[in-house]
Amino acid sequence: MASQEAKLLSDFLLTPASLRDFMTPRQFADIFPQAHRANPAVQDLYRELHRLRDKDVDLVRHAIAHEVKRSKQLRREYAKERRRADDATVAGLDSVALQMEEEFSGDSRKTPHSLHTVHSSIDEACTTLEAQIADMEQENQTALSEVQEAVGALSDLRHGRFAQSAGGEDIGQEVLATLKRLEAVCTNTAE
């Protein structure tokens, strides 16, 4: 019984493929001008096109057979690799979790994790996460201090305890500048 792949490829690439399946010798002769339709060279040309077309169809048949053999080998290799990967799971670790870890870390390992490689990968991931958390905490601390500074300046304004600006700017302009700075800090940290 032919495989699904062979049937699909044959149906798509070979049916109808013969020149006689879609054009008769009479239809072919009708393509030429009236004066040349009876010329024996037209029939010779049709036979030559038919021969070339059959040769191409045979080449496609051979290519389909080769592709089916190749796909069977690929399926066997895939099944073998899948069994090897399934057998290589570490006790206590979920294979889905291992696959997710490989995808997220970008580490496309050719060999499955062992107990030592899992521990070293986990240690490396923890170190990376701790560094990212420290960076985030520093960014949050900087944003918080900027917000506290802006709120403190506005609080001083509310209670009337503000020093005259050294540049001699109007108090209203200074308040607007402080509010814009507070808004900028708040919108930058929200992103």
Residue 1: what pLDDT?
41
**Residue indicated by tokens 């870390």:** 105
Radius of gyration of the chain (CA): 39
Averaged pLDDT, groups of 10, the chain, 191 residues long: 76 77 86 89 90 90 90 85 69 68 62 74 88 93 86 72 58 78 75 55
The domain locations on the chain are 1-107
DSSP state of 165: P
Residue 141: what pLDDT?
92
74 CB neighbour count, 10 Å cutoff: 10
Residue 107: what pLDDT?
56
